[in-house]
Structure 1
Amino acid sequence: MRLQHHAKTQLAIALIRRGMRTSLVARISGLRPAVLRELHHEIHGCKPLPGQLPSTGSLLGSARRQANASVFAGLYRAFGGAAVERRINVEALLTGHRLYLEQMAGLTGSDTLGPTLDINQGWVIARDLTTGLVLFRICERCAIPYVAGAFSRRSVDCPICALKVSRTGREVKDDAPPQPLGSSTAEQGKPNRDATTHA
């Protein structure tokens, strides 16, 4: 019993250090909320903040957010296997999230995928994979796996391909020749009346 309690406490400490809310840590570890609040105060030097968990819709609401979540979910499943679609694997969640943060750190300069997911947002995705609210799909064009909301209009759209199209459009616009000051594209095609008059 002591070893089991010690293992639960160590897991709770790892989750709290990562920033997981004590309500989730209580659900995962089985430890009493009062104990977890004390641990949180010892680790972070403050009381845990209350608040609601984010919804899946907010985490997958745009191509950029969906691609961001797909990076995390892919790493999570790589360590937890197909079983993560049936139950949450906490060890795979921690390992996948750590590697996800490392991968995202390399993209900081480009800001391609926006803000990183914290461990609580990662847990929401992991939870909804087990309920079927979040599904793994594979793009028929680029063959890259991604996650999508089961009832979302974006469920059939690959976020990676959508971002590629968006970026290509911006690059084409950026490569367009500069317009002369004080003139528009339409004005450039018009003949110069003064030149015609004096010719």
Structure 2
Amino acid sequence: MSQNQPPPPPSGPAWGQVPPQPPMPPQPASGPKWARKRIVIPAALVILFIGVGIGSSGNDQKTAASSKPAPRVTVTETAKSDAKPEPAPTVTVTKTAKPPAVKAKPKKTEAPAPKDQVVFKVWGSAPAGVDITYGSDSDSIQGHGLPMTKTLKLKDDAMYYNVTAQLQGGGDVHCSVTVDGKTKTGHASGGYNICNAQLSGGLFGDWS
């Protein structure tokens, strides 16, 4: 091809021409208003029935919940009694007061009889009377009254000294004889019993 040949014409539309537009799709014709109402009204009724069903189901649930019986609560109360409680028994405790301790008085110690004297004693009770004799182997003396205390001069040749007290039907008596610091005692109780106390002289001047 020679360079002087003109270029081939374009295959498209001619220069300056508007290309043809494609045809528009057919638009549906709008229906009448009454047709729209036929669609909207049934839809509204369906929604209304659904709402009523939900509400009725909620009410049924509330009614079922409220129809359940309430739990029964039993309260037990102690019956009050009008009777007054009996008073507690009175307990009296009696304590015996202890008497104050009495200090024992020291017994009077009798002065020992002189060595040259013999002492005879009789004491106690003898309601019916008592027969008393005292002395030595060589001398017997009648005594009387309770208590009785008598003295005699000690004889070197006396073999013994004694005192007797015989009850006359009852009583209780004691008797004693004392020679050179030695003492013998006796006791008698009831009936006609005899209280007897005696000291005998020994070979060496002692008394027993």
Question: What range is the shorter-chain TM-score in?
Answer: under 0.3
Q: Which has the higher helix share?
A: 1
Higher normalized contact order (CA 8 Å, seq sep 6+, divided by chain length) = 1
CA radius of gyration, larger in: 2
Q: Which has the higher strand share?
A: 2
What is the TM-score with the length of structure 1 in the denominator? 0.17
